[in-house]
Amino acid sequence: MAGSAPRLVLASASPRRRELLGWLGATFQAIATDGEEQDDAPPAELVAALPPCPVPLATHPTLLAWRKVQAACAEAPDSVIIGADTIVVLDGDVLGKPRDEDHARAMLARLAGRQHTVYTGLVVVRPGPAPEPPALALVASDVLIAPVRAETIAAYVATGEPMDKAGAYGIQGLGGQLVVSVSGSYTCVVGLPLVETYALLVQAGISALHEPADAYQRWLHAQGKEPLPCPPTFP
């Protein structure tokens, strides 16, 4: 219908991203893809437009988000599509999802007592008579983990929570008990930075969204969590 809002698609299987996007007040469909596993060469113009990130190109979270969006395009033509990808970086190493429990314990032992950086890349494409370059963003937050002991790490890994999360912890779950502080966007660490997501979606024509700060507070309340001091922590 002419003048109607475009359909919104989230190219992600992550329940955390679906939850956060819902708290923004968005009506959307989620499509899971394996786009981030593709390794074909990206367009040179996309590579040139990627926000700077101190990791190898193949692991750049905005590129991985673009791959997810591209994979969803065939299933969702004429839609606004948003994709996101999150990585954890420590000492220049990208810590992805753990292979097994031993790997998860080793990751958490490296993170314990130290600060690391979480990067979430965002990509939004929108339909139109002529192709437009995708809108790209990259958000970084610094996270300080408590100096936890091996027994605490083992007990946390035994819950199973770390096994599908970059860096082997989930700040919104039990892993939040390991976190001392977040400098930057809290929801970046969860996997969908609300402020930047809101801005990109409004730019793409998605309307009637909740303000990011309100969505963040309501989401925290639903989780039974108290907000971290602001600053340094933001939505």
Catalytic residues: 85
Determine the Cα–Cα distance for residues 82 and 134; give it in Å rounded to an integer: 10
The amino acid sitting at 35 is: G
Tally Cβ neighbours within 10 Å of residue 169: 28
**118: which strand partners?**
88, 141
> Hey, what are 107's tokens?
């990751």
* Sign of the dihedral defined by the CA atoms of residues 7, 10, 13, 19, in that order: negative
Query: How long is the chain?
Result: 235
3: alpha, beta or left? (left if phi > 0; alpha if psi -120 to 50):
left
Select from 186, 170, 189, 178 the least CA-distant residue to 112.
Answer: 178
